[in-house]
Amino acid sequence: MKLIKYDLKKIEGYCDIFKKTPQELAQFVNNISYAGDPGNILMGMFYVFSSLNQNDFAQEMQVKAFQYRKLYRLTDPTTVAIKLLVLSGPGGMENNAPIDFIVQNKNIRLDVLFITLDNDSFTEIPDHDVAFIAIGESTAHLPILEKISQLLTHWPKPYINPIDRLYLCRRDRLPKLLINHPNILIPPCLRISREGLENMAIDQPLTIRPIDTHGGLGLEKIGSREELNLYLSQCQETQAFYVSHYVDYQSKDGKFRKYRIALIDKKPYICHLAISDDWIVKYLAAGMHEDSTKRAEEQWVMEHFAEDFAVLHHDALFTIADVLDLEYIIIDCAQTADGKLLLFEADGGAWIHATDPPDIFPYKAAIMQKAFDAFEQLLIKKINHSKGFTERTP
């Protein structure tokens, strides 16, 4: 593979767009122009409409952008200390980790190379210091992941998150790897066909979700045959599911708490705590913006994470990082009544950010910066090790 330097004009990525007010975003859309570059214009529109959850139109824009090229620049600092190349698949941040949230305000130039199933030769690849595989594990992504895996056998630069390790994150594989740890609770998960569900006995509460969904999409708790039949009637097109035992992790105050933690270079960094009345905890739906009491608890947990939660669950977090052996992985977890770490999922394609309104969440930016700095140090470590240098700071 030959490394080629490309002179690219930066476009607005997710992080840039998330920072805009509705008025600024409307003005940006009306005036979007990248000096007549049709690829940049179309990919810029993809990021805008993907951010607005207009996914069908966003996908249409992305497909059209691919007709011009598959390489786009999302950050371009005046002083470039690190050239980072992110390998992504088609789709948005529901499929690929949006790394621009992490490297904003760093001396890191971020180029995104989209890998598709087209017959691209890849005899020439963009010049970079280190690459990052941003695609999360899923059956739908398997052909792209396999293609990237083949490319990586001849890759000329260091890279983060080998494909064979990402495969271990699959929902029915991860429990088998961690089931014997005394301080981790992760119930067995079965990958089961629609026909298998139709014939399965329900003798305890279950959780069920379609294969390849994240963020609670399609996730339901099932306690009876009638509920299961109703669920199946509402997703007629789905032919495969993940099924697991339901674990009641409700706290004494009746709330459910879900922690998002980044394991970067196998060290844990808190990214948020969501507190909800619903057992399916989604940060945006949990009322964190509206409830100052919830935010006060999140602030305490985030500020004291290193000497509290991370100490209490040190062995569990270390084991997860060690077993997966990935240098960047995001986990969602909770704490059971008897003090175990309840692990929901591990995903290399999940995202972390610091775009919450600072007037409502004044504590978050400084804490998230710890994770962002750790990611930068990981890049430096990978680059230096590939050159045979000792670790250094920038």
pLDDT the model gives residue 18: 92
Query: In whole angstroms, how large is the CA radius of gyration of the chain?
Result: 21
For 335-393, what is each residue's pLDDT tens digit?
999 999 999 999 999 999 999 999 999 999 999 999 999 999 999 999 998 887 654 44
Tell me the mean pLDDT in the region 202-227.
88
pLDDT(135) > 70:
yes
Q: Is 4 helix (H, G, I), strand (E, B) or coil?
A: strand
Q: How far apart are CA 146 and CA 154, in angstroms?
A: 14
> Hey, which bits of 50-158 come out as E strands?
71-75, 82-88, 108-114, 124-126, 130-133
Together in a domain, 155 and 74:
yes
pLDDT above 90 as % of the chain: 82
Q: What is the CATH number of the domain that holds 219?
A: 3.30.1490.20
Q: CA 64, 67, 68, 71 torsion: positive or negative? A: positive
In this prediction, residues 33-42 reach a mean pLDDT of 88
- Does residue 300 surpass a pLDDT of 50? yes
* Segments forming the whole domain that contains residue 351: 256-387
Q: pLDDT, tens digit, for every residue of 109-134? A: 999 999 999 978 889 999 999 999 99
Q: Return the CATH number at 303.
A: 3.30.470
Pick from 15, 140, 11: which is nearest to 68 by CA?
11
Whether the CB-CB separation of 276 and 286 falls below 8 Å is answered with yes
Predicted local distance difference test score (pLDDT) of residue 386: 85
More confidently predicted of 331 and 215? 331
Q: Could you say which DSSP state residue 136 is in?
A: P
DSSP state of 168: G
User: So what's the pLDDT on residue 390?
Assistant: 52
The answer to whether position 179 is within a domain reads no
- What lies within 8 Å, CB to CB, of 163 at 6+ separation is 133, 145, 146, 148, 149, 152
Choose the final residue of a domain: 245, 274, 291.
Answer: 245
Q: Are 276 and 295 found together in one domain? A: yes
Picking from 97, 42, 49, 98, the residue whose alpha carbon sits closest to that of residue 74 is 98
| 364 and 293 both lie in a single domain | yes
**27 within some domain:** yes
Any idea which residue has 């050159």 for tokens? Answer: 387
| Count of structural domains, the chain | 3
CA angle 307, 324, 190 (to 5 degrees): 110
For position 307, what pLDDT does the model report?
97
> Taking the mean position of all CA atoms in its chain, how far away is CA 322?
19
Confidence of residue 207 (pLDDT cuts 50, 70, 90): very high
Do 94 and 25 share a structural domain? yes
- Which segment of 154-158, 235-239, 248-252, 262-266 scores lowest on mean pLDDT? 235-239
Asked if residue 152 has pLDDT above 80, the reply is yes
Residue 45 lies in a domain: yes
Q: What is the mean pLDDT of residues 177-185?
A: 94
Residues 148 and 197 in one domain: no
Residue 213, in any domain of the structure: yes
Domain end call among 245, 277, 312? 245
Instruction: Determine the Cα–Cα distance for residues 350 and 366; give it in Å rounded to an integer.
Output: 21
CA-closest candidate to residue 259, choices 179, 352, 183, 327: 352
Share of the chain above pLDDT 70, in %: 98
Shared domain check, 195 and 293? no
Mean pLDDT, all residues of the chain: 93
Closest by CA position to 387, among listed 156, 189, 60: 156
Q: Quick one: 125 and 8 in the same domain? A: yes
Print burial letters for 146-158: b (CB count within 10 Å at least 16), e (below 16).
Answer: ebbeebeeeeebb
pLDDT at 389: 62
Q: Residues, the chain, total?
A: 394
Shared domain for 239 and 260, answered yes or no, is no
Enumerate residues 6+ apart whose C-beta is below 8 A from 80.
Answer: 107, 108, 109
Residues 6+ apart with CB under 8 A from 297: 273, 275
pLDDT for 186 beyond 50: yes
Residues 145, 116: Cα–Cα separation, whole Å? 10
Q: What is the pTM of this model?
A: 0.93
Residue in the structure block whose two tokens are 């002179």:
7
